[in-house]
């Protein structure tokens, strides 16, 4: 048997850290998603790949060349990306634009002792770059990168300088080539001491502290040098913009004074003017010196300004050779807005000309803003791990654009919707999200991209588990968080209609479904725990006004507006208008919920919680519909980590931290009563058992453990026992997720997907022959490794759950969904021949 695995979709949120995002001259954006580096294409609004390699959270990414240096990168076939993490490690990656392939070039040697806070670089020529990195260990390193001359050559990386800046660490950094003097580089950095420090050095390194700029009254958060600006025909000026937690933005002008051939030249006497009163220090660089003055102070933001950046250079002439620096600055702030600042044409006073931002209730501000290479789009990344993109469609009319989205913390559980049209995921970021392929056009085969189409639950506790209810009627799921109660959610009318728009099918729901579903959507409660339904007939009534005269206090939460979407929704719509109403609460457990599962008929839901004793570790059974407890199964002494019903719903398998698995028989009487008994319990592994999965065509199951093994077992009904069929060859890492799928038309073949703690996924082919009595003897059971999925499309840390899409049709292609601790939800196409 031969198998091929292709990436279909990656959903991930951005780490909530300043300097995390970079927009490259390649047109692609990079960002950190936990310990993975993710690359997304703004044109397709899709994450293209994730780069595995970091062991710690990725703090910052930086392209060489960035969008600012597109004019020097026209001929480049190879682009480079730097990523720095919380352990101080910096990795250099190479992207080939010709075929879109990535490779890890090297880990930058002698890296920092503590987390990297900022990386910034410049293109010194078409094939040479310099970059610097700051860290919370108080050191700054400066590097040179020489690009290869041929596409298959190697780049050269060398350290030019490394120096300490004292106990107050630096968190912002910018570099520039000084105008008018050959090869002098200026380095500006700022941080916790509220001052901007300027260092000068040559192309070969050895940077010297030149001067300090004072003025800000709180931490410096962002610095950016412009390219040299022409004033009165001479390109002798360069500007530095700085932003701070004091809510202000300052623009500093550095004007070339004169050359000093002997180092003691006489300066031209400037005319007495206002400028002489606001002049700052003089920057001496080699044989030149620059007079620094405060050009402007921009006040407009109402909270910390986390980023400021100059607009990338624009083409000056139709020939396309000359470029100029536009007088335009983008700032992003925790006040939920981004602003574009430009000098007024007549007076030259800097004004805020454009303001974009979240007017919604759910965003808590922006960590950074970025320009596209040609300056027609701006992107912000926010507190909710989200991206926000605006495009100028003409005359400063900035419209929101679609962007990728996803969880910003570990994704704990994932399941396919009852119809297989969507996947639903739960996460420690306190949300559950629904992703679906949005068909753009029925006739186009490739006109299908996956998007987040709803956010059914936005909660106040980390969500540990969820299960989809497979019964007839409306779509439902049960979620379990770090609380003792499980919550049942039901799809509102607005979601059913949005889903049919996404799949271009009107058959997602029948007309009587629509008449039965009276709930349009749901509202968030003030504490963010229960979600209250919004009924169809109540929409026409005028709501009561709040007693607080409409003031936006913590107690008053704006009403949601349930919406049917005809195109994929954007962040502020997702976070507010796509909630599902909560229909029931399931009380019973004594600790925080840990795992949930539903049987295949949609009649029973099983739940377990965190436990350190036999009484607490019991599994509760709930009857779907009435939502009453119909059973409490005692067997384990520690937390039950996963549960699954067999394909015929006659058995319930549970695995636990106590290294044992249990199989219960579940019998249903004619009157609908449930009876259950423990069929077998035995120690399956030497360490925690994390995962289990049943054979969809029989009573065999697999268990996976921290002891790096996967074992296959068979239930023998006649002797009421479980026997081991085989152990897969030892794996490289702890086994954290398993999912067994049957192959269409081949009842004796299956594929077992194995997910591991190191993020890797392997597919194993399982084949067997049954005896006449239906049992399998050990020699007739064989397992072979089908495919080890390429690390560049796997997870970068622990795989938490794997789920195969139900394959009703007879075709060779299968779909596998996975979620992991790298904040990612992934979908793969698996073809088997």
Least confidently predicted of 133-142, 229-238, 343-352: 229-238
Smallest Cα–Cα separation from 488: which of 506, 497, 503, 476? 476
What band does 541 get if pLDDT is binned at 50, 70 and 90? Answer: very low
Smallest Cα–Cα separation from 736: which of 612, 822, 807? 822
Q: Give backbone dihedrals phi and psi of 572, rounded to 5 degrees, phi first.
A: -70, -20
pLDDT tens column, 386-422:
999 999 988 888 998 999 999 999 999 999 998 888 9
CA distances from 601 to 418, 471, 604, 605 (A): 11, 6, 8, 10
Question: Which residue in this structure is represented by tokens 């981004």?
Answer: 338
Q: Would you say residue 313 has pLDDT above 60?
A: yes
Mean pLDDT of 360-365: 63
pLDDT tens column, 560-600:
777 888 888 888 888 778 889 999 999 999 999 999 999 99
Mean pLDDT of the chain: 86
So what's the pLDDT on residue 545?
40
Cα torsion angle, 53, 54, 59, 64, sign: negative
Q: Would you say residue 613 has pLDDT above 50?
A: yes
Greater pLDDT, 583 or 234:
583
Least confidently predicted of 57-66, 82-91, 174-183, 725-734: 174-183
Least confidently predicted of 569-583, 601-615, 726-740: 569-583
| Top-ranked range on mean pLDDT: pick from 230-239, 499-508, 658-667 | 658-667
So what's the pLDDT on residue 574?
84
Greater pLDDT, 154 or 827:
827
| Top-ranked range on mean pLDDT: pick from 567-581, 653-667, 763-777 | 653-667
- Angstrom distance (rounded) from CA 421 to CA 666: 30
pLDDT tens column, 208-227:
999 999 999 999 999 999 98
**Under 8 Å between Cβ of 314 and 326:** yes
**Under 8 Å between Cβ of 62 and 131:** yes
Greater pLDDT, 97 or 513:
97
**Under 8 Å between Cβ of 604 and 621:** yes
Q: Would you say residue 647 has pLDDT above 80?
A: yes
pLDDT tens column, 244-264:
999 999 999 998 886 544 444
Smallest Cα–Cα separation from 717: which of 617, 650, 800, 636? 650
So what's the pLDDT on residue 562?
79
Mean pLDDT of 686-698: 93
Q: Would you say residue 768 has pLDDT above 90?
A: no
- Angstrom distance (rounded) from CA 722 to CA 452: 42
Smallest Cα–Cα separation from 112: which of 94, 130, 85, 83? 85
Number of C-beta neighbours around residue 732 at 10 A: 11
Q: Which residues contact 540 (CB under 8 A, 6 or more apart)?
A: none
Q: Would you say residue 80 has pLDDT above 90?
A: yes
Greater pLDDT, 110 or 91:
91
Per-residue exposure over 204-214, b if at least 16 CB sit within 10 Å of its own CB, e if not: ebebeebbebe
What band does 811 get if pLDDT is binned at 50, 70 and 90? Answer: low
Q: Which residues contact 26 (CB under 8 A, 6 or more apart)?
A: 63, 79, 95, 97
Mean pLDDT of 475-489: 94
């Amino acid at each position: 048997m031969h198998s091929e695995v292709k990436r279909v979709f990656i959903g991930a949120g951005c780490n909530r850290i300043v300097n995390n995002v970079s927009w490259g001259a390649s047109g692609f954006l990079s960002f950190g998603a936990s310990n993975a580096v993710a690359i997304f294409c703004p044109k397709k609004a899709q994450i293209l790949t994730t780069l595995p390699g970091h062991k710690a959270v990725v703090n910052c990414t930086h392209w060489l060349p960035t969008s600012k240096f597109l004019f020097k990168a026209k001929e480049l076939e190879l682009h480079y990306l730097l990523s720095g993490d919380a352990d101080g490690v910096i990795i250099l990656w190479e992207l080939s634009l010709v075929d879109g392939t990535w490779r890890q070039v090297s880990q930058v040697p002698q890296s920092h002792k503590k987390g990297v806070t900022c990386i910034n670089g410049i293109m010194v020529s078409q094939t040479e770059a310099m970059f610097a990195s700051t860290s919370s260990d108080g050191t700054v390193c400066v590097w040179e990168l020489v690009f290869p001359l041929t596409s298959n050559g190697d780049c050269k990386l060398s350290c030019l300088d490394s120096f300490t800046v004292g106990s107050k660490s630096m968190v912002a950094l910018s570099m520039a080539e000084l105008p008018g003097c050959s090869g002098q580089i200026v380095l500006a950095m700022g941080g916790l001491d509220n001052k901007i420090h300027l260092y000068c050095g040559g192309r070969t390194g050895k940077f010297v502290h030149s001067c300090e700029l004072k003025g800000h009254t709180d931490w410096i958060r962002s610095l950016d040098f412009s390219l040299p600006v022409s004033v009165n025909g001479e390109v002798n000026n360069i500007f530095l913009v700085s932003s701070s937690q004091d809510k202000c933005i300052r623009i500093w002008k550095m004007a070339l004074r004169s050359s000093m051939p002997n180092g003691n030249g006489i300066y031209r006497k400037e005319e007495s003017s206002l400028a002489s009163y606001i002049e700052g220090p003089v920057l001496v660089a080699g044989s030149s010196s620059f007079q620094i003055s405060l050009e402007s102070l921009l006040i407009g933001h109402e909270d910390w300004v986390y980023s400021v950046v100059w607009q990338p250079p624009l083409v000056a002439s139709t020939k396309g050779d000359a470029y100029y620096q536009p007088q335009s600055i983008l700032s992003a702030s925790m006040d939920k807005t981004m602003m574009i600042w430009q000098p007024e044409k007549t007076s030259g006073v800097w004004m805020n000309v454009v303001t974009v931002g979240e007017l919604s209730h759910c965003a808590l501000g922006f960590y950074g803003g970025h320009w596209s290479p040609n300056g027609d789009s701006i992107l912000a990344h926010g507190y909710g791990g989200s991206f926000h993109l605006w495009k100028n469609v003409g005359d400063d009319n900035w419209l929101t654009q679609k962007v990728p989205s996803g969880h910003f913390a570990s994704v704990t559980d994932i399941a396919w919707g009852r119809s297989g049209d969507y996947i639903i995921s739960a996460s420690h970021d306190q949300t559950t999200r629904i992703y679906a392929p949005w068909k753009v056009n029925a006739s186009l085969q490739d006109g299908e991209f996956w998007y987040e189409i709803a956010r059914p639950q936005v909660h106040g506790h980390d969500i540990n588990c969820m299960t989809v209810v497979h019964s007839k009627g409306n779509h439902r799921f049960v979620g379990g968080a770090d609380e003792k109660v499980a919550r049942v959610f039901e799809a509102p009318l607005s979601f059913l209609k949005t889903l049919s728009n996404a799949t271009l099918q009107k058959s997602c729901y029948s007309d009587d479904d629509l008449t039965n579903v009276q709930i349009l959507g749901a509202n968030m409660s003030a504490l963010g725990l229960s979600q209250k339904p919004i009924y169809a007939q109540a929409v026409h009534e005028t709501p009561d006004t709040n007693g607080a005269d409409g003031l936006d206090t913590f107690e008053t939460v704006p009403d949601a507006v349930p919406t049917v979407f005809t195109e994929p929704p954007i962040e502020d719509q997702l976070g507010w208008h796509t909630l599902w109403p909560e229909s029931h609460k399931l009380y019973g457990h004594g600790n925080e919920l840990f795992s949930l599962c539903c049987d295949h008929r949609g009649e029973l839901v099983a739940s377990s919680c965190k436990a350190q004793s036999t009484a607490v570790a019991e599994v509760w059974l709930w009857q779907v519909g009435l939502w009453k407890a119909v059973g409490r199964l005692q067997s384990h002494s520690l937390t039950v980590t996963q549960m699954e019903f067999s394909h015929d719903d006659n058995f319930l398998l549970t695995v636990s931290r106590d290294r044992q698995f249990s199989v219960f028989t579940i019998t249903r009487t004619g009157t609908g009563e449930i009876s259950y008994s423990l069929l077998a319990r035995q120690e399956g592994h030497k360490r925690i058992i994390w995962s289990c999965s049943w054979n969809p065509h029989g009573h065999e199951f697999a268990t996976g453990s921290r002891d790096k093994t996967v074992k296959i077992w068979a239930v023998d009904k006649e002797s009421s026992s479980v026997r081991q069929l085989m152990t897969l060859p030892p794996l490289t890492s702890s086994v954290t997720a398993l999912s067994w799928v049957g192959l269409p038309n081949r009842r004796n073949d299956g594929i077992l997907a194995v997910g591991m703690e190191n993020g890797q996924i392997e597919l194993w082919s399982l084949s067997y022959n049954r005896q006449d009595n239906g049992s399998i003897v050990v020699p007739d059971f064989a397992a072979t490794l089908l495919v080890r999925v390429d690390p560049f499309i796997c997870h970068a840390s622990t795989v938490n759950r794997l789920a195969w899409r139900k394959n009703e049709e007879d075709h060779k292609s299968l779909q596998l969904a996975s979620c992991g601790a790298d904040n990612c939800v992934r979908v793969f196409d698996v073809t088997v021949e």
